[in-house]
Amino acid sequence: MKEFKTAGDYAQVPIKQLYQQFETSAAGLSSHEVQVRLATYGHNTIQRGQRQSQFKLFIKNFTSLMAILLWISGIIALFAGMLELAIAIWAVNLINGVFSFWQEHAAQKATNSLRQMLPAYTQVLRDGQQQQIDAADLVPGDIFTIQAGNSISADAYLISATGLQVDESALTGESVPESKSVIYHPGDGKFAETNIVYAGTTAASGNAQAIALNTGMNTEFGQIAQLTQNQRPNVSPLQKELNHLTQQISLLAISIGVLFFILAIFFVHYPIAKSFIFALGMIVAFIPEGLLPTVTLSLAQGVQRMAKKHALVKDLSSVETLGETTVICSDKTGTLTQNQMTINHIWLPSGDYVVSGQGYVNNGQIMLGQQPYIFGQKHDLDLLLQISVLNNNTTVKAPATVGEQAKILGTPTEAALIILAEKAQLDLSTLQTKLPRQQEFPFDSERKRMTTIQLVNGQPVAYIKGALDGLLAISTTILDNGQVRNLTEQDRRHILAANDHYAAAGLRSLAMAYRELNPQANWTQAAVEQGLTFVGLTIMADPPRLEIYAAVAKCHAANIRIIMVTGDSALTAKSIACKIGITSDQARVVTGTELANMSDADLKAALSSELIFARVAPEQKYRVVTMLQSMGEVVASTGDGVNDAPALKKADIGVAMGMTGTDVAKDAADMILTDDNFASIVAAIEEGRTVYSNIQKFLLYILNSNLPEAAPSVIFLFSRGLIPLPLTVMQILTVDLGTDMLPALGLGAERSEPGIMEQPPRKHNAHLLNRRILWTAFGWYGLIAAVLSTIGYFLVNYANDWPQINLAASGGVYQQATTMTLAVIIFCQIAAALNCRTQYSSLFKIGLFSNRKIIGGIVFEILLLLALMYLPTLQLIFNTAPLHGAEWLYLLAIPLPLLLIEETRKYWLRRPVN
């Protein structure tokens, strides 16, 4: 076996010698040998270096502004002789830090697991058979295939190559693709050898076969990846906004704290240490502790829920952007339709044939009159079938058992052509040997055709298949009933009329042509693709996906516009768009050619009304996306090919197809659909909206308790200390870092509120903390809780001979009164946790107990309150005392009226506005 060398070292080794050195052959490795090599060389994966250390992440949670403040406060409390308070403050700080760390860790785990859900595949030749394997299982000596759009899985030596261009920017930074071929040339600089391709680079066009030289960490890419590690997590705009918000609120809280500190010293004449602790209460009451980790966790949970619905997002920020999406530019084939091509007609100048049988099961027939057609009976139909299978890079493996789907290695369009020929009992392998392929000009979505040159009886003949409009433009003759004659204007009209007839029914056509070539000439693509002889059309059906109707209706209800941007023909596109309800039949169809000639102003005007883009090249999507963005839209755009990458990058949400998409498209995208289904985009948008509204819900919930927590300090100050502080600092901490935590988390996991997809998209620059939330938190829920808790405090005092009581001598009355304030706030928060679950809908409609996390949180709150009241140690630390029967009655009477008041308010909000 070989000793370690870099791929470049093999560039000048002749292929035969390389086979020997790597103990492999043109038929590939045996599966046994693969196992041996996997054990020797390991999996073909790149291990990133050290992650950000968990320890650092852990410590970070104890060094935030809030945490430092609490550490210092503990020290001051200690010096002021309040040992219990000091310990309690530190304990709370510790619990909060651990909790935040756990949340961040859970969020990180959630996003990391997504990467494993997207394996990269490679086609290899093993045991003489073409197979699709996980790229991680590729070993040195494997013979593998490279197609345009693939990311190259190993450093490899080219055995054959057709028009191969490789984008090596990941290695060299050079974004202009390099031409590669089997002929060695050293090229300029590193990685420039023409016959070597490198892992981590991508094939921009063409195709090739190569022998893997180095895999995994032995590749050049692996070596570089080892050196450069950037694991910096991306911070989403929402997290940034919250960071900023927390900082601002903290500053405000500290300013108020300083003010209260000064007032306590000079106005109430409190000692300094006591004043500090008092002011600290205000600060703690206002700072939204735990907000950021909770947001991060709920974004990550959103990401996980999206993954379950077949949408993998790469970045937390995509979750928010999805919720803002106003326009989706969508491909047609495979996204809106099933990509289950079945040819059901053949059109030849001499006649029209019906093809029976659905899908990829070879049980149909081509009908010639009343007779099933067998290959070899008729020259023009035979030729069409011959072109169909020879100008074809797809293999279809018959299902092993009845009822199983056939396996397709390649594209559904080409698979349909193979199945068509099988229906006429054409023997593919005999034909491939008899008419071997000499050259190929691969398909690209610009030309919309593919050409191969086959040797037919020793003579080179070009076989071409592709979109009819382009093909007809370069055809000069026609094969009509076995005779070649000039293609007249009348023929053209005749062919186009036939094609339009099918297209108007939503069917897709593919045209076939050929040309006999001069054996001597050295053929270029441009020279071959002209002067063709037109043969005929295959007509295929690609039915809309079943889920599409509901998904489109949902988008329309949610004010999200769908614009179809397809490479298919205008009539087919329009027919499908109308059928699935994307547009009315009044929609304008703009073709790629028209788009190219349109000024920006015209395009803008066109985009303002219903339209469909057909026969466009993927590059043109970029312009459409850019224009829509300049019109203030938030655009999601789908794509699968190499040329879709710029539009995917440009779009606010680039959506790549997981099944049929190229690696290049997946790299450029923000979101990958594992089922290629348009309906999954809509599900992801709904999830995005839900996550955002849940974050607003728990923000509202945590802000609710601010006012009732602050009110006691204000009462204390303005009575110049005559009214003892109704809520102690420790008790404020209990609410903010104890009882509020779990229900808040539960709100982050709330399911979509009914009707969330019946509202227009959120404005792009809308703030998370808006006036509605501030009003509801401070002017409504907060105010009610502040009033109720103050009443509770005075009721206890009043029952104990207020105002005669003396704080020091009252023997537990003060403790009981502050406990009452605390308990009322907690009971108000219980109602608030339930009330915050919906913005408009009735709580009873979504089910009072449907969010178990919230119910669990509420139970926890009550247990914690009971523990504080009844456990002697906690009583001592938290300055609490047990409450009595009447007080409990007051407490228990709080939640229900609060729920009913809110239900009435929501009912009023829901009422139809005329």
**Least distance (Å) between residue 513 CB and ligand ATP:** 11
Answer yes or no whether residue 333 interacts with ligand ATP by CB under 6 A.
Answer: yes
Print the binding letters for residues 94-113 with ligand ATP: x by CB under 6 A, - otherwise: --------------------
Name the minimum Å distance from CB 417 to ligand ATP: 9
Whole-angstrom distance, CA of residue 659 vs CA of residue 662: 9
**Residue whose beta carbon is closest to ligand ATP:** 567
Please count the helices (runs of H) and the strands (runs of E) in the chain: 36, 28
Site size with ligand ATP, rule: CB under 6 A: 18
| Binding-site member from 445, 591, 629, 752 for ligand ATP (CB under 6 A) | 445
At 834, list the tokens: 């339930």
Asked if 832 touches ligand ATP (CB under 6 A), the answer is no
CA nearest neighbour of 655 among 669, 665, 640: 669
Q: What DSSP letter does each residue of 287-321 carry, written as one string?
A: S-TTHHHHHHHHHHHHHHHHHHTTEEESSHHHHHH
Q: Is the dihedral of CA 24, 29, 32, 34 positive or negative?
A: positive
Q: Which is nearer to ligand ATP, 447 or 689 (CB)?
A: 447
Amino acid present at 574: K
CB of 449 to ligand ATP, least distance (A): 5
CA distances, 573 to each of 304, 416, 469, 470, 499 (Å): 34, 20, 15, 17, 13
Looking at the Cβ atoms of 539 and 894, the one nearer to ligand ATP is: 539
Q: What is the pattern of x (binds ligand ATP, CB under 6 A) and - over residues 275-314? A: ----------------------------------------
Residue 411 in the binding site for ligand ATP (CB under 6 A): yes
Is 567 a residue that touches ligand ATP (CB under 6 A)?
yes
Q: In angstroms, give the least distance from the CB of 574 to ligand ATP.
A: 13
Sign of CA dihedral 801, 805, 807, 812: negative
Kindly list the distances between the CA atom of residue 501 and the CA atoms of 504, 543, 568, 845, in Å, as whole numbers in the listed order: 5, 17, 15, 51
3-state secondary structure 820-858: HHHHHHHHHHHHHHHHCCCCCCCHHHHCCCCCHHHHHHH
Does residue number 510 form part of the binding site for ligand ATP (CB under 6 A)?
yes
User: What angle do the packed helices 272-286 and 237-266 form, to 10 degrees?
Assistant: 150
Residue 652 falls in the annotated catalytic set: no
| Interaction pattern, residues 4-43, with ligand ATP; x per rule: CB under 6 A | ----------------------------------------
| Phi and psi angles of residue 728, each rounded to the nearest 5 degrees, phi first | -85, 165
**Element spanning 346, H or E:** strand 342-348
Rounded CA-CA distance 286/634 in Å is: 35
Question: φ, ψ for residue 751 (rounded to 5)?
Answer: -75, 165
Least separation in angstroms between CB 398 and ligand ATP: 21
Residues in the chain: 914
Binder of ligand ATP out of 180, 310, 332, 545 (CB under 6 A): 332
Omega of the bond leading into 803 within 30 degrees of 0 (cis): yes
Which range touches ligand ATP (CB under 6 A), out of 88-96, 461-469, 853-861, 872-880? Answer: 461-469
571 in contact with ligand ATP (CB under 6 A): no
Q: In 10 A of CB 393, how many CB atoms?
A: 17
Question: Which span (202-210, 230-238, 407-415, 702-710) binds ligand ATP, by CB under 6 A?
Answer: 407-415
Distances (CA, A) of 502 to 356, 418, 498, 540: 16, 21, 7, 9
In the β-sheet with 671-673, what is the strand arrangement from edge to edge? Answer: 311-313, 671-673, 653-657, 635-639, 327-330, 561-564
**Residue in 100, 195, 275, 566 binding ligand ATP, rule: CB under 6 A:** 566
Site membership for ligand ATP, residue 449 (CB under 6 A): yes
Of 163, 222, 323, 466, which one interacts with ligand ATP (CB under 6 A)? 466
Question: Catalytic pick from 331, 444, 568, 736?
Answer: 331
Rg (alpha carbons) of the chain, rounded to whole number: 35
Which CB sits closer to ligand ATP, 84 or 446?
446
Binding piece for ligand ATP, criterion CB under 6 A, among 285-293, 327-335, 492-500, 678-686: 327-335
Contact between 243 and ligand ATP (CB under 6 A)? no
Q: Which is nearer to ligand ATP, 638 or 706 (CB)?
A: 638
Residue 445 or residue 477: which is nearer to ligand ATP going by CB? 445
Q: Which of 309, 345, 448, 666 binds ligand ATP (CB under 6 A)?
A: 448
Nearer to ligand ATP, 305 or 465 (CB): 465
- 210 and 158 Cβ atoms separated by less than 8 Å: yes
Secondary structure in 3-state letters for 28-51: CECHHHHHHHHHHHCCCCCCCCCC
Please say which residue, 169 or 445, places its beta carbon nearer to ligand ATP. Answer: 445
> Residue 34 CB, nearest distance to ligand ATP (Å)?
30
CB nearer ligand ATP, residue 331 or residue 529? 331
When the beta carbons of 86 and 503 are compared against ligand ATP, the nearer one is 503
Q: Which is nearer to ligand ATP, 334 or 748 (CB)?
A: 334
Distances (CA, A) of 178 to 493, 515, 708: 43, 31, 68
Work out how close the CB of 660 gets to ligand ATP at its nearest, in angstroms, rounded to a whole number.
Answer: 9
Q: Which is nearer to ligand ATP, 610 or 903 (CB)?
A: 610
Q: In this chain, which of 168, 320, 331, 594 binds ligand ATP, going by CB under 6 A?
A: 331
| N-term to C-term CA, the chain | 82
Q: Are 728 and 821 in contact (CB under 8 A)?
A: no
- Minimum distance from CB of 469 to ligand ATP (Å)? 9
> What minimum distance in Å lies between the beta carbon of 466 and ligand ATP?
4
Residue of 104, 568, 709, 753 interacting with ligand ATP (CB under 6 A): 568
Q: How near is the Cβ of 41 to ligand ATP at its closest, in Å?
A: 35
Nearer CB in complex with ligand ATP: 202/538: 538
| Residue range at the interface with ligand ATP (CB under 6 A); choices 68-76, 341-349, 448-456, 681-689 | 448-456
| From 413, 583, 694, 704, residue interacting with ligand ATP (rule: CB under 6 A) | 413
Distances (CA, A) of 411 to 113, 300, 393, 408, 567: 29, 34, 8, 7, 15
Question: By the 8 A CB rule, do 440 and 446 touch?
Answer: no
Q: CA distances (Å), 121 to each of 135, 137, 648, 662, in order?
A: 5, 9, 21, 10
CB of 455 to ligand ATP, least distance (A): 21
Return d(Cα 785, Cα 210) in angstroms, integer.
Answer: 72
Q: How far is the CB of 467 from ligand ATP (least distance, A)?
A: 3
Is the Cβ of residue 344 or residue 734 nearer to ligand ATP in the bound state? Answer: 344
From the CB of 647, what's the least distance to ligand ATP, in Å? 11
Query: Which residue stretch of 305-313, 329-337, 372-380, 695-703 sits at the interface with ligand ATP (rule: CB under 6 A)?
Result: 329-337
Work out whether 467 is an interface residue with ligand ATP (CB under 6 A): yes
Which whole-number Å values give the CA distances from 751 to 551, 743, 894, in the listed order? 19, 14, 26
Tokens 């979750």, residue?
Answer: 319
- Interface residue with ligand ATP among 414, 667, 687, 753 (CB under 6 A) is 414
Interface residues toward ligand ATP, by CB under 6 A: 331-333, 411, 413-414, 443, 445, 448-450, 465-467, 510, 566-568
* Residues assigned a catalytic role: 331
